[in-house]
Structure 1
Amino acid sequence: MTTVGIVTGAGRGMGFECARRLTGTVDRLLLVDRDRAGVAAAAHELSASGCAAVVEPFPLDITDGVGLAGLARRARELGVLRAVAHAAGISPTMADWRRVLMVDLVGTVMLAEALRPLLTAGTAMVCFSSMSAMLGPQEPNPAAEAALGEPLDAGFLDRLRDAVGPSVEDSGVAYSWAKRGVQRFVQREAVRVGPVGARVCSVSPGIVATPQGRQEAANQPSMKALVARTPLGREGRPEELAAVVAFLLSDEASFLTGVDILVDGGVVAALQDGSRVRP
């Protein structure tokens, strides 16, 4: 049986490190990224490293339904889908609020729907959320939660805007809602795919030293303060996130599904505790 893995956002950063880890666990690995040159270079680097898996670049925007159908066809042609690490996404400084929600939440759901027919016993998927999902408003907002539950609805963006108010037009606020939606989707998807023996979890990174993270830090001075509040006193490393993802995708995590794993160095705990960790 030929096993297949898919990593999105694989051109750099956490996605690339996830791909590096998966080269030792599947026979064929599809690297997905909208950056055609970047994903080709990533595939070449992994192949040149002498990895066991056959690595193939697959340029794709995850909000492209036709392209996602092609990705599913290609995975089916190659073998049995074993692992999916969905790291593709954009951060607040990269787009306006609508695009952030479309890529980070709607694109996640579109990918899962395209791949769902390929899931079988032992298939595992990990979607990237963010610690920001836990740092937004905590008061109940039933209308917003209802909108998040139907991200493929034609009126989704307008429904969420009506529920949250004009603040959601701030791309940082939209990012938090998108990542909250990813966590909610993973819970529902775990219930949906469990009967066939498949699993799905999410991970929520804190501040991680990646090119995308550096771009955000250059535009958001508050990120430096968050690092200062982190109990471990530093940013995360991409390979640390990839190690958690690799575990969640492995048979060792065979009873984990429908949960989010916070990988933030303890900063959310510090913020919720209200303690001052260091000067």
Structure 2
Amino acid sequence: MVSVITGGAGGMGLATAKVIGREQPVVLCDVRAERLDAAATVLKDLDVTAITCDVTDRDAVVKLFEEAAGIGPVTSVIHAAGVSPSMGDADYVMRTNAIGTVNVNEVFYEVAAQGAAIVNVASMAAHLLPEEMIPADRFPEAMQDTNAFLAAMAGVCEPMPAELRSGIAYAVSKAFVRWYSSSQAERFNGRGLRIVSVSPGSIDTEMGRLEAEAGAGALVADAAVPRWGEPEEMADLLAFCVSDRAGYLTGTDILNDGGVVASVRERARLASHG
């Protein structure tokens, strides 16, 4: 039994590896080799295999799962690989977060053993984006025609002011992750697989702090729980989602954001009532 963790070199992925690695071998994947080496050193007491992999490259993802299957049957995947708005332009954010999710999940669907589970990391940003800004009718194209999907998503982002485009792409890409994890649940169940998404709030990771400097920190100060989430708080939830104890959990999104979305919505309701 092997668990694959994408984006495993830091933040939530690394924290989750520490939890899952106590019980089974872990295949850690990340696009940055030097960070992967550092993570493997941190986890040296566990059974960890580190593999460099770009999740936007379907062939690389196939190879990742082939190597994992060579160790043992793949029974769980934590798909934590993703980028935030400060890490690139809108196309890069969309390609990494949305197409990366399709690649990892579709390859998992093809090769995973019955009873296996995958959890995809979405974001509270998907919950804060107004419904009318989510082009869900174009989401299925991501599985059929990557270029058409990316063109449709660019059509949402490009009319926005330049400084907002990456942020909109991030929120839309994470809305896609939520949609995919829900819409594919019945298909996955046909092969005995579970699929879930988790939407973290502002988590105290390198990526999270990058966004704090870009303005996300204000949301934390106003949350019901006015602090940053810890990677370990996300890790235990992610590990639970793919465990046998969560055998009834599929096709849904779990929002774990310290109450940010609840606070924002209630304030908006009170403001609208003057």
- TM-score normalised to the size of structure 2? 0.92
Identity of aligned residues (%): 36
Kindly state the Cα deviation for residue 24 of structure 1 after the two structures are TM-superposed. Answer: 1.9
How far apart in 2 are the matches of 1:17 and 1:85?
11
Give the structure 2 partner of residue 179 of structure 1: 174
Q: Which moved more, 1:96-105 or 1:208-217?
A: 208-217
Unaligned runs of 5+ in 2: 270-274
Does the aligned pair in 2 maintain the 1:6–1:85 contact within 8 Å? Answer: yes
Is 1:36–2:39 an aligned residue pair?
A: no
Asked whether the 8 Å contact 1:122–1:198 carries over to 2, the reply is yes
Offset, 1:256: 0.2
State whether residues 84 and 170 of structure 2, in contact with CA within 8 Å, keep that contact through their aligned partners in structure 1: yes
Report the Cα offset of residue 171 of structure 1.
0.3
Structure 1 residue 96 corresponds to structure 2 residue 93 = no
Alignment partner of 1:192 is 2:201: no
Distance 1:11 1:230 in 2: 28
Aligned residue identity for 1:22: I
How far 1:225 moved relative to its partner? 1.8
- Count residues with an aligned counterpart: 266
Distance change in 2, residues 1:261/1:168 (3 Å): farther
| 1:184 partner letter | W
2:43 is the alignment partner of 1:46: yes
Which residue is equivalent to 1:259? Answer: 252
Checking the alignment, whether the CA contact within 8 Å between 2:90 and 2:157 is kept in structure 1 is: no
**Contact 1:149 1:181 (C-alpha < 8 Å) held by counterparts:** no
Q: Which residue of the partner structure matches residue 69 of structure 2?
A: 76
SS at match of 1:247: helix
SS in 1 for 2:190: helix
Q: Is the 8 A contact 1:124 1:199 kept in 2?
A: yes
CA contact (8 A) 1:83 1:123 kept: yes
Separation (CA, whole Å) in 2 of partners of 1:120 and 1:239: 27
Bigger CA drift: 92-101 or 144-153? Answer: 144-153
Conserved 8 A contact 1:97-1:175: yes
> Quick one: distance in 2 between partners of 1:246 and 1:198?
16
Match of 2:16 among 12, 15, 18: 18
Deviations 1:63-104 (A, max 9, x none): 112211111211221211111001010000100000000000
State the Cα distance separating 1:140 from its structure 2 match.
Answer: 7.2
Q: Indicate the larger mover: 64-73 or 6-15.
A: 64-73
Distance 2:189 2:112 in 1: 10
8 Å CA contact 1:168, 1:174 repeated in 2? no
Does residue 139 (structure 1) correspond to residue 132 (structure 2)? The answer is yes
In structure 1, distance between residues paired with 2:188 and 2:237: 21
Amino acid at match of 1:234: R
Deviation of residue 139 (structure 1)?
A: 2.9
Partner residue of 1:215 out of 180, 197, 210: 210
- Uncovered stretches (5+) of structure 1, i.e. residues with no partner: none
TM-fit CA distance, 1:224: 2.6
Moved more, 32-41 or 86-95: 32-41
Offset at 1:164?
A: 6.2
SS at match of 1:151: helix
Cα drift, residue 149 of structure 1:
2.0
* 8 Å CA contact 2:141, 2:148 repeated in 1: no
CA contact (8 A) 2:202 2:257 kept: yes
